[in-house]
Structure 1
Amino acid sequence: MVLSCALLGAGYFGKHYVRLLGEVSGARLSAVFDTALSSDAFQEIKKVHPGVKRAETFEEILNDPEIGAVIIATPASTHTSFITLALKAGKHILVEKPMTANLSDALSLERIVQESGKTLMVGHQYLYNDYIRRLKEIVDGKALGKIHSFCASHFYLGPIRRDIGCFWETATHELAILDYLFGPLMIEGVTGKAVYMRERSGIEDAATASFHSSNGLAASISVSWFSPEKVRNFFICGEKGIVLFDDIEKKEKLRLYRYPYPDKDAFKVKSSFFFEPVPQQVEVCQVDSREPLLNQLEHFIHCVQEGVSPLTDLAHGVRVTRQLAQIVDVFQG
């Protein structure tokens, strides 16, 4: 059965769902609700989806029995109300990150999702990135040995949000990746600082946080949405080597450096240890990759049609939101 979908928000990010719903099998775009969408922009959507209709109100979507799923790509502060109403109307949900704008909203969804019996999936698209999937194989295969640290940098030039801060908007990705790679985690020992360029706004524009996870991993995440250059990478250090993921790289996104950390005997004679890298110790991981958002959308369709729980389900979304709240609370101190 083809899953009939409604899209809330067809702008900055929602436009990608417009395109991909024209490419996937098993789903179609039946309706769009976006009060800011121009008539010309809607006509462009109709070129891809001739049968799509423009809903004038969200209630039109809720009351349409043919619509089985709602994809939410609107500002984070609107997510909870849209999710709640759609679930109560019997719709499945794919909501873009961040799932909610605060922890209390995330927790309020637990009972609603359970009572609805419908699928709620969070759009943490890096977990559907084939390079991150390959990285999990490396981690699970113990190629790094005992893992000690995770260090991430995520910088870009806008968009700057009005309703949530940069860390809540951006570090959602890194925290979701940590949860995926190392299992359900709790974090502790949070330290960090944030930069607020809009005084008394409570909306951070850049931030750095460090913490330990429940499995002993030390992590550091730095973010900014006011950077002249785009940087999106992280590296994981283990006793047997280092793995680097750089999303800006075109061909060498994932590299494994088989450089074992020196043991204590290395310092018996010399006060410093110098690495002598050789090409054979650096492996560029070859990955047959697809667009992560396409993988994500197909996973959602599969979960709805087969009645199985998504990889990025509500429980995962709540864990990530709880960690975001812990960290942002430290910033606001």
Structure 2
Amino acid sequence: MEIGIVIFGAGRWGVHLVRNFLNHPQSQVIAVVDPSPKQLQAIQERLQLDRDIMLIESWKEALELPGITAVAIATPASTHYEIISAALKKGYHVFSEKPLTLEHSESVALCKLAEQQQRQLFVDHTYLFNPVVQTGKTIVTEGRLGELRYGYATRTHIEPVRPDVDALWDLAIHDICILNAWLQETPVEVQANGIVWLPQQPPQSDLVMAKLTYPSGFQAFLHLCWLNPDKQRRLGVVGNQGTLIFDEMSAEQPLVIQHGHLEYLGDRWKAVDVSREVLTVEKAEPLAQVCNEFLNCIHQNTTSQISSGWVGAKLVGILCALNDSLQQGGKTIKCDQS
């Protein structure tokens, strides 16, 4: 049975959602919604949308269309709570872009509302469906790195610069999501410092340096910037037997283990057993896997074990703690564990 779905947002990511739901045999795209007529025209022309697919500027009007089973939200994060809440109250399953909301309390409220309505609330944390990330999780959980020591991630580019959120909210969620999945735990406290260069109102941090501390004592350090021409998407987890590296900019070798450890030989420490292992990873479009998971959750009416609303709410809680630290000059902030 096909699931009638309406996609809210015809921007950069909304286009990809429309394409994937159009191509999935279990879904039927009923409408695309965006307040910009230009965006709607552009997506219609780019994807050659069938004339039966409605193009609507008002999200409230779209929620009244017949035949809807689910909605997909790819609008600015500041609009998520109102739209998702309204959709759940109408009895629709909801697919939301990340972050789920900009307030932890609102994310928790949406999760509880979804449970009350017996509807699925699913968050598009695409990296969790990336075969590279899934393979990396297996490497870490199998103990192939030895005793874990620390982690690091760099996520930089020269644009886009978002007007609705700063570099922290725009970029950090990706690496935190991956680290949480690999470590199978979530931070208990965080720190963040930022620098503002662009004259935006309100001021937004263009560079953020953050630290996450996990229950095990593992610490991860994040470098986030959207004003750096040196585009990087690189994350590492270091153990006493080697380092697992996910380099998204390396198309041919995105996941490697840099083996090696130190031994005290003679009168000094020396690196031994140093080698580079390129890991084989299957090819698949992560977003296609995301959409498939959402539709399967609807068919089975079961909560996703990978990227449920509660997973999204936990990540929002971590971001809120980081934001509090940022606003307080780098003060250590405890993460809400609810």
Q: TM-score, normalised by structure 2?
A: 0.91
Question: Could you say what the CA RMSD is over the residues aligned between the two structures, in angstroms?
Answer: 1.8
Distance in structure 2 (CA, Å) of the matches to 1:65 and 1:184 = 42
User: Which residue number in structure 1 is paired with residue 87 of structure 2?
Assistant: 86
User: Which residue number in structure 2 is paired with residue 62 of structure 1?
Assistant: 63
Matches within 5 A, 1:319-330: 319-330=314-325
Distance in structure 1 (CA, Å) of the matches to 2:270 and 2:192 = 31
Pairwise CA distance, 1:52: 0.7
User: Which residue number in structure 2 is paired with residue 104 of structure 1?
Assistant: 105
- Pair 1:149 & 2:144 matched: no
Matches within 5 A, 1:1-333: 1-38=1-38, 40-44=41-45, 47-188=48-189, 190-197=190-197, 198=199, 201-259=202-260, 261-263=261-263, 266=264, 269-274=266-271, 277=274, 281-310=275-304, 311-333=306-328
Distance in structure 1 (CA, Å) of the matches to 2:214 and 2:124 = 23
Structure 1 pair 110–19 and aligned structure 2 pair: CA distance change class (3 A): closer
**Higher deviation after alignment, 37-46 or 153-162:** 37-46
Question: Structure 1: which 5+ residue stretches go unaligned?
Answer: none
Q: Say if 2:185 and 2:214, in contact at 8 Å, map to a contact too.
A: no
SS state at 1:176 partner: helix
Q: Say if 2:297 and 2:303, in contact at 8 Å, map to a contact too.
A: yes
Pairwise CA distance, 1:200: 7.0
Q: Say if 2:36 and 2:57, in contact at 8 Å, map to a contact too.
A: no
2:73 counterpart letter in structure 1? I
SS state at 1:262 partner: strand
1:217-273 deviations in Å (ceiling 9; x for gaps)? 1110111111213100111111221111000111100001221x325xx16x33342
2:324 counterpart letter in structure 1? D
Structure 1 pair 127–181 and aligned structure 2 pair: CA distance change class (3 A): same
Distance in structure 2 (CA, Å) of the matches to 1:136 and 1:299 = 19
Q: Say if 1:101 and 1:164, in contact at 8 Å, map to a contact too.
A: no
Distance in structure 2 (CA, Å) of the matches to 1:164 and 1:105 = 17
Structure 1 pair 42–167 and aligned structure 2 pair: CA distance change class (3 A): closer
Question: How many equivalent pairs are there?
Answer: 325
Distance in structure 1 (CA, Å) of the matches to 2:63 and 2:241 = 53
Structure 1 pair 306–180 and aligned structure 2 pair: CA distance change class (3 A): same
2:89 counterpart letter in structure 1? K
Pairwise CA distance, 1:192: 2.9
Pairwise CA distance, 1:54: 1.4
Pairwise CA distance, 1:72: 0.7
1:309 counterpart letter in structure 2? T
Structure 1 residue runs of 4+, over 4 Å off? none
Structure 1 pair 46–273 and aligned structure 2 pair: CA distance change class (3 A): closer
Q: Say if 2:111 and 2:121, in contact at 8 Å, map to a contact too.
A: no
Distance in structure 2 (CA, Å) of the matches to 1:77 and 1:44 = 28
Identity %: 27
Distance in structure 1 (CA, Å) of the matches to 2:187 and 2:271 = 36
Distance in structure 2 (CA, Å) of the matches to 1:40 and 1:48 = 10
SS state at 2:31 partner: strand
Structure 1 pair 17–200 and aligned structure 2 pair: CA distance change class (3 A): closer
SS state at 2:36 partner: coil
Structure 1 pair 96–199 and aligned structure 2 pair: CA distance change class (3 A): closer
1:141-198 deviations in Å (ceiling 9; x for gaps)? 111122121100000122212221111111111111122122242322x333101223
Q: Say if 1:129 and 1:289, in contact at 8 Å, map to a contact too.
A: no
Pairwise CA distance, 1:7: 0.7
Question: Structure 2: which 5+ residue stretches go unaligned?
Answer: 329-338
Pairwise CA distance, 1:211: 2.6
